[in-house]
Amino acid sequence: MRTPGSAEARLFDRVEQSAVEDSELLKLIVVVASRRGEQCQGLDIRSLSSSSERKIRDMTEILLLTSFIGLSLGSFLNSCFYRIPRGIPLGKPRSFCPACLQTLAWFDLVPLVSYVVNGGKCRSCSSSIPASYPLTEIALCVLAVAFVLMYGLSLQALSSLMLCFLFLLIGRIDWVHFVVPNILVGTGFVVAFALKLSTQADLLGDLSASIFSFVFLLIVRVIGDALARRPSMGMGDLKLAALVGFSLGLFNGCLAIWMAALGGTVYTILRKNAHEKRIPFGSFMAASTIILVLLEKDIQEIADRWLNSIQ
Ligand SMILES: [Zn+2]
């Protein structure tokens, strides 16, 4: 017995009529995977026709493939994180252990699995591999699945994932090296542009948001320099702010910079090394941007509901 009118019932009916979007179907897979063969809020999953079953099975395979691509991208990010700040080309030499310089075998490079099998240590010299490496792989896996669930197999999902890849890479590099590489910011603009094209966004508005974010942070920097009597912010942070504004638009761009400022302030208060005066502000901007790219849909819905309520 189906509960007429429920969200799941409507979704099940649309699957049967083949009028369902990929992203909606993927949401259904999560329900089916967790309650397979059971009554699901009054819905009998077994009542689905064989073609719908096949469609769900195909989509489940897509999700598994997406997870693997996400993990592999995370592994590539780890390589970029080590090589880009040191000026080592991405293609050559082959992957090696930074401690003993031993070239890694293919089975040392299986994302997540190699780390677990080798107990988080290099197989040659037993030096510890930082936990940030497997965590990055897991983060990219989660992001990849999240974007496919949100947007289906689309250019929007791909460019959102690539944008988060770049922001995560910039964030990690700035956290350790206090530098925001120009090449990554430039690539970010190209990827964000592709995302704008896929969503038919207001390009001129986002370009204005980019200039506004840059000028706003420039003013903050001039005031900060005068107050602290030393450089308060790097040029890389300003360029990154321009990318944040372009990627997120004016409202979410300002929100990201505000969240980054809040995070930076809390970090300054809580950090143990009080002698270190620098703050990796780029890392905070990168983190808040990733959060907002993930929540963009929800924020839009909340803003629309709020606008409707005051009209
Ligand atoms: Zn080693």
Q: Does 139 lie in the same domain as 123? A: yes
Q: Does 310 lie in the same domain as 167? A: yes
User: 121 C-alpha to center of ligand 1: Å?
Assistant: 8
pLDDT, one tens digit per residue, over 132-166 is 999 999 999 999 999 998 888 888 899 899 999 99
Burial call 31-59: b when 16+ CB within 10 Å, e when fewer: bbeeeeeeebeebebeebeeebeebbeeb
Per the prediction, the chain carries an average pLDDT of 86
User: 96 C-alpha to center of ligand 1: Å?
Assistant: 8
Give the residue-averaged pLDDT of 175-199.
92
Six-digit token string for 282: 């780029």
User: 287 C-alpha to center of ligand 1: Å?
Assistant: 30
How far is residue 83's CA from residue 193's CA, in Å, rounded to a whole number?
Answer: 26
pLDDT confidence of residue 201 = 82
How far is residue 59's CA from residue 158's CA, in Å, rounded to a whole number?
Answer: 17
Residue 24 or 62, more confident: 62
Q: Does 137 lie in the same domain as 174? A: no
**Entry pTM:** 0.81
pLDDT, one tens digit per residue, over 4-61 is 666 666 766 766 666 666 666 666 666 665 555 555 555 555 566 676 777 777 778 8
* Amino acid at residue number 310: I
User: 13 C-alpha to center of ligand 1: Å?
Assistant: 56
Is residue 217 pLDDT above 70, yes or no? yes
Is residue 207 pLDDT above 70, yes or no? yes
User: 124 C-alpha to center of ligand 1: Å?
Assistant: 5
210 lies in some domain: yes
229 lies in some domain: yes
User: 283 C-alpha to center of ligand 1: Å?
Assistant: 28
The rounded Cα 72 to chain-centroid distance in angstroms is 14
Q: How far apart are the first and last CA of the chain?
A: 41
User: 118 C-alpha to center of ligand 1: Å?
Assistant: 12
Helices (H) and strands (E) in the chain, counts: 10, 2
Query: Domain boundary residue among 123, 151, 179?
Result: 151
Neighbours of ion ligand 1 (CB under 5 A): 97, 99-100, 122, 124-125
Q: Does 158 lie in the same domain as 147? A: no
2 lies in some domain: no
Burial of 273 (0-12, 13-18, 19+ CB in 10 A): exposed
Task: Calculate the alpha carbon distances from 10 to 4, 18, 36, 52, 57 in Å.
Answer: 8, 12, 18, 14, 20
Is residue 302 pLDDT above 70, yes or no? yes
pLDDT confidence band for 110 (50 / 70 / 90):
very high
Q: Which domain holds residue 142?
A: 7-151
User: 86 C-alpha to center of ligand 1: Å?
Assistant: 18
* Amino acid at residue number 6: S
44 lies in some domain: yes
Task: Assign 103 to helix, strand or coil.
Answer: strand
Rounded (10°) CA dihedral 256, 257, 259, 260: 120
